[in-house]
Amino acid sequence: MPNDIKVLVVDDSAVVRRVFSEQLSKHKGIMVVGTAPDPYVAREKIVKLKPDVITLDIEMPRMDGITFLKKLMKYFPLPVIIVSSLSTKGSKIALEALSLGALEVISKPSEAYSVGDMSMQLAEKIRAVYGAKMIAASTQNMEDKPLTSISSMALASTTNKIIAIGASTGGTEAIKKVLTRLPHNTPGIVVVQHMPAQFTTSFAQRLNELCQMKVKEAQDGDTVINGQVLIAPGNFHMLFKRSGARYYVEVKTGPLVHYQRPAVDVLFKSVARFAGANAIGIILTGMGKDGAVGMLDMKKAGAINIAQDEKSCVVFGMPKEAINIGAVDYVQDINSIANKAIALLETM
């Protein structure tokens, strides 16, 4: 159909190409216009078929997916979804691809991840990246330098403060831009990024190497403390809890919320309940409505909320929904969110 999203599947496995083509054809509004076993064939088909979205394997013969992605983003930028194994190596390479301009990542089917699950999630991700703004991967510059430490006087007043962040499509780079700008003694941060299991481990490790704060994938019962960021593990919800003066997280399974696990709404609603006016909420780039209602609950409980602005978003879906229902106090460019959060913390 003329209005279908045209998809090109690039994978060296004939089985994967066939399965993806068959499964995606079941989803209304999506049409696989071609497949390619390697980047050289893909290049020819991109010119000929003009796809809207590309799914890209990262381990292929003749030219690997990372090398191809670099060339693609330089000469013919298109929305790319990385298809990767659940291995540690695969997840690390996938994160590199996201930093180079890929917009989403999805796991190949495995014993714990069925073809049906893959098909549904891949279709959602294709819809998410379709028409997304292709923002060139930026290099480190003066704006990326961390802020100076929070003063000891201000820090004393932030011992019970926390920051909650939610993001989806384009969020890995947006989260990096926020966290790398924060000083080492920033109040505890809890983060939900829509991402498959295993990939959040590598994501947390990568951020830990770049940030002044300690960053780790959350485990059930982890204490939320100053100077530490907890990333919700893929395929698990993360809830914020309080016991006396201690903040901690609960990591658990449960039904999908907005087709997601972890879900931003689950985190934000728990922050509203247990942190209230001691919290700052930040909602970043992503498709859909996840996080909007939870952020409104946070505002009603006294929290101060920030949304990423449309211009700097890859997909202005989640922030827009939160803004539209009146859940947001400030709308900021991605490069100014960290500064705004610190300024607010020092006045709370």
Residue with tokens 């994501």: 203
Domains and CATH numbers, the chain: 5-129 (3.40.50.2300), 142-345 (3.40.50.180)
What per-residue confidence (pLDDT) applies to 141?
A: 42
Task: Judge contact between 170 and 79, C-beta under 8 A.
Answer: no
The model carries a pTM of 0.90
Task: Judge contact between 314 and 170, C-beta under 8 A.
Answer: yes
Distance CA(84)–CA(64), nearest Å, equals 12
Query: How many Cβ atoms sit within 10 Å of the Cβ of residue 153?
Result: 8
What per-residue confidence (pLDDT) applies to 170?
A: 93
Which residues are the active-site residues? Answer: 168, 194, 290
Mean pLDDT of 182-188: 94
Distance CA(81)–CA(75), nearest Å, equals 18
Read off the pLDDT band of 142 (50, 70, 90): very low
What per-residue confidence (pLDDT) applies to 151?
A: 53
Q: Which amino acid is at 291?
A: G
The per-residue DSSP string of 47-79 comes to: HHH--SEEEEESS-SSS-HHHHHHHHHHHS---
Q: CA distances (Å), 299 to each of 139, 237, 331, 342, in order?
A: 35, 21, 14, 18
Read off the pLDDT band of 173 (50, 70, 90): very high
Distance CA(35)–CA(277), nearest Å, equals 52
pLDDT of 77-136, one tens digit each? 999 999 887 666 778 888 999 999 999 998 877 644 567 777 888 998 999 899 887 765
